[in-house]
């Protein structure tokens, strides 16, 4: 199995922290987000990682050159259109790596290792889409609408019919990988594809009747880091997913990365 990390974005909503460095290299509890992700991926038994890079690609590749991967194969793929595109384009660029089972995650996800473990352990469907049920959903949340345990819609505009938030770590196995590839190609042929998230491909599959397994992660910690307030929240909760004592220096005002 491979892991694909989509980390090409500019991260403008995290200014000033991402003015000079990509958000996957932001420090949380003494680890960069990317290091945290790769460590969890490795500890779950996955030995190959593909990272789609764009903004600050030199810094990401320099970090990887100095990262002890402990035998993992780590490869980068460059998205030259990162300034004007979204994650659909990044995953499309990485489609050549989709030659077997994969787990896809966004480059700003921080999470307890159990989230990934549970997703990888789910095998009764070819696509596993973890979810988190919340009392309130924000405009930026990638929301799902469910009927019973079946996902019938997914997108950011489901505010009035949200059943859960889609967790940004998804597993594709066997025929699920090929169906994802086809759906990405179909999405790419639609006007405005450059602005789409790759989740639109999963929505396309759902509408065609393809079964997608939902996995409720319940109280496990997961979040994506989109805004400075998210960065502070992730740092404040770093002891939950880094398995390290809480660094007291983050009790003070967020530092000036």
Token pair 């089972």 is found at 101
* Spans of all domains in the chain: 2-241
Beta bridge partners of 215: 130
Report which of 166, 179, 173 is spatially closest to residue 109, judged by C-alpha positions.
Answer: 166
pLDDT at position 253: 33
Record the tokens describing residue 249, joined without a space.
């220096």
pLDDT of residue 26: 96
Q: pLDDT tens digits for 55-83?
A: 999 999 999 998 887 788 999 999 999 99
Burial class (CB in 10 A: 0-12, 13-18, 19+), 167: buried
User: Any idea what DSSP says for residue 175?
Assistant: H
159 contacts: CB under 8 Å, gap ≥ 6? 137, 139, 143
Tokens of 121: 């352990």
What pLDDT is recorded for position 243? 57
Q: CB 90: neighbour CB atoms within 10 A?
A: 28
The answer on pLDDT for 203 being more than 70 is yes
Question: What tens digit of pLDDT does each residue of 85-111 get?
Answer: 999 999 999 999 999 999 999 999 999
**What's the CATH class of domain 2-241?**
alpha beta
Residue with tokens 């993992």: 72
pLDDT mean across residues, the chain: 89
Question: What mean pLDDT do residues 179-204 have?
Answer: 95
């Amino acid at each position: 199995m491979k892991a694909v990390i989509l980390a090409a974005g500019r991260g403008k909503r995290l200014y000033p922290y991402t003015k000079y460095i990509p958000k996957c290299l932001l420090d949380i509890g003494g680890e960069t987000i990317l290091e945290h992700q790769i460590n969890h991926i490795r500890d779950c038994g996955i030995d190959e990682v593909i990272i789609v890079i764009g903004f600050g690609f030199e810094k990401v590749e320099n970090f990887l050159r100095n990262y002890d991967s402990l035998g993992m194969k780590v490869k980068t793929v460059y998205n030259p259109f990162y300034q004007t595109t979204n994650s659909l384009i990044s995953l499309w660029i990485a489609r050549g790596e989709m030659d077997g089972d994969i787990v896809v995650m966004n480059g700003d996800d921080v999470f307890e290792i159990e989230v990934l473990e549970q997703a990888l352990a789910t095998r009764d469907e070819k696509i596993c889409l973890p979810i988190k049920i919340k009392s309130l959903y924000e405009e930026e949340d990638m929301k799902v609408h469910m009927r019973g345990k079946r996902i019938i819609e997914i997108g950011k505009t489901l505010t009035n019919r949200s059943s859960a938030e889609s967790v940004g770590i998804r597993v594709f196995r066997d025929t699920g990988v090929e169906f994802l590839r086809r759906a990405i190609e179909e999405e790419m042929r639609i006007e405005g594809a450059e602005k789409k998230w790759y989740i639109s491909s999963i929505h396309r599959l759902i509408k065609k009747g393809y079964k997608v397994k939902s996995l409720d992660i319940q109280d496990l910690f997961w979040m994506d880091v989109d805004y400075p307030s998210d960065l502070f929240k992730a740092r404040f909760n770093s002891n939950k997913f880094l398995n390290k004592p809480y660094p007291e220096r983050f009790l003070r005002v967020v530092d000036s990365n």
